[in-house]
A and B are shown apart, each in its own frame.
Chain A
């Protein structure tokens, strides 16, 4: 597993080098578990991401203060946010916005507030913070992200945050030494199954120095996976089985509780 991970990291790094040949730092990262398995007693988990900043000869000696931003985004889905309004004395859903291919889980961690890391312009371009992450909406025929204080966007982020599915922590990344860092990735119980992308960006003096990527997946195994795939692929047999199970349970109960 470790060998494969480092191989993957090398692969990612080499692509980065191809794009930014002048960069003098490299990021070496790893997630504590690349495959979170959902078992009957699964109730959420916390992963740990750790890594280090590798310098080489071409690194300017003055560069010592690094800032780090970690973005974890879960599988993407289309979602709709609806707003209730009072009509004829009752509260009904009137207006709505569709959010297209937005992450079902989104976490942004950094070692200090985003405002201290980079200018607002860089924050927006690098999508630092929940306010700057691109959440594409469909407004009528147009596709666009809107201003962060748009009522539908902020309600969406707020509701996801209430369930722990969207989160932002500007003190979650800790530097153990000036170049060695770690951060926890809390996964609440209701996080969706799927592949999670982790993007790590290194900043220095307000500018992006380098970036790298990692990933992990949350998968169902054993009984959970069997039930889920059967329900999806053999709906008829699954339904028949469930209905039969209902009858058996009912019949068993009437035998167990028979008075005479």
Chain B
């Protein structure tokens, strides 16, 4: 069934978009990530202008993460205090990111910067997660009891002042590293046009030592707020949010996210990390190949706004 999108100005197949939304929603529900780094390239591939894709995906991620967050809230898998502190940092980071975005664009190499940061970030994070998950699985296979690796938790991070008790997560931690993490995620999200959940989760697990039980739900709250904010920003500044496209993506996305969240609960943590690591690595490698291999067409056309 073909439907004409009022802002993107092209007709699309509704079922194709629904299916794409559902597939990305499933992944996002399962791993607790926004899935923007998957959805945006898919939409561009279908023929939607990159700017419209980025702007509309933000609202899709907001919907997916809200439905996910509600499920996690019911299971008491969200740490409200931790989410709030992260959000404080996230807001500052987003503002800094938007400023940097404008600066990079005036220098004229924004596309390249985005592609390079995708490659570096996705490959590194993906490879690390994959490696960690693999080691954990091997350890279980060999029957070695997993040591409660809480020893490292008393590193320099835990020597910082301004400590705060995060009851739901059962951790006692300085707010400084939490705010810094929020700033970094907000910054990366604004510059690269992604929610940043896939970076936030490993940082929370390995650096802040937040227990796995509250990590996903809490990161979803951060994604929800930043993406709802991003939707507003895109709508006000560029007028490029396609509400019809967003609605189709959302309906597919939230449905997929529900099933994904359930599937995620059934899979063991280390397997989940291995899978997510593989997925992120694959996307990172795909971007790397695109940069290295001679493109089919050396020329590209872009309209310079003001089509009247």
Interface status of A80 (Cβ within 8 A of chain B): yes
Interface status of B308 (Cβ within 8 A of chain A): yes
Determine, out of B4-12, B142-150, B267-275, the stretch whose residues face the partner at the interface.
B4-12
Check A239–B3 contact: CB distance below 8 A: no
- Between-chain CB contacts (< 8 Å), 11 pairs: A39-B4, A75-B307, A78-B303, A159-B299, A242-B59, A242-B231, A242-B243, A243-B62, A243-B228, A246-B246, A254-B70
Chain A residues whose C-beta falls within 8 Å of the C-beta of B299 in the assembled complex = 81-84, 151-152, 155-156, 158-159
Contact with A along B60-75 (1 / 0, CB 8 A): 1011111111110000
Chain B residues whose C-beta falls within 8 Å of the C-beta of A98 in the assembled complex = 304
From the candidates B3, B237, B306, name the one contacting A41 in the complex (CB within 8 A): B3
Check A231–B243 contact: CB distance below 8 A: yes
Could you say which interface size class chain A belongs to?
A: 35 or more
Measured CA separation A163–B236 after assembly (Å): 31
Measured CA separation A42–B5 after assembly (Å): 10
Closest to B229 in A: A243
- Output the least CB separation between B222 and chain A (Å): 15
Q: Counting chain A CB atoms within 10 Å of each CB, which of B235, B295, B303, B306 scores highest?
A: B235
Measured CA separation A41–B234 after assembly (Å): 27
Check A90–B291 contact: CB distance below 8 A: yes
Known: A249-B66, A250-B70, A257-B258. 7 other contacts (CB 8 A): A77-B303, A235-B236, A239-B231, A245-B247, A246-B63, A247-B63, A253-B254
Interface status of B251 (Cβ within 8 A of chain A): yes
Which 5 pairs from chain A and chain B are nearest by CB? A239-B235, A250-B66, A253-B254, A155-B299, A250-B67
Check A42–B70 contact: CB distance below 8 A: no
Binding site for A on B (CB under 8 A): 2-4, 6-7, 9-11, 47, 59-60, 62-71, 109, 111-112, 228, 231-237, 239-241, 243-244, 246-247, 250-251, 254-255, 257-258, 291-295, 297-308
- Output the least CB separation between A61 and chain B (Å): 47
Check B304–A247 contact: CB distance below 8 A: no
Check A250–B9 contact: CB distance below 8 A: no
Measured CA separation A38–B2 after assembly (Å): 13
Interface status of A193 (Cβ within 8 A of chain B): yes
Q: Counting chain B CB atoms within 10 Å of each CB, which of A90, A104, A242, A245 scores highest?
A: A242
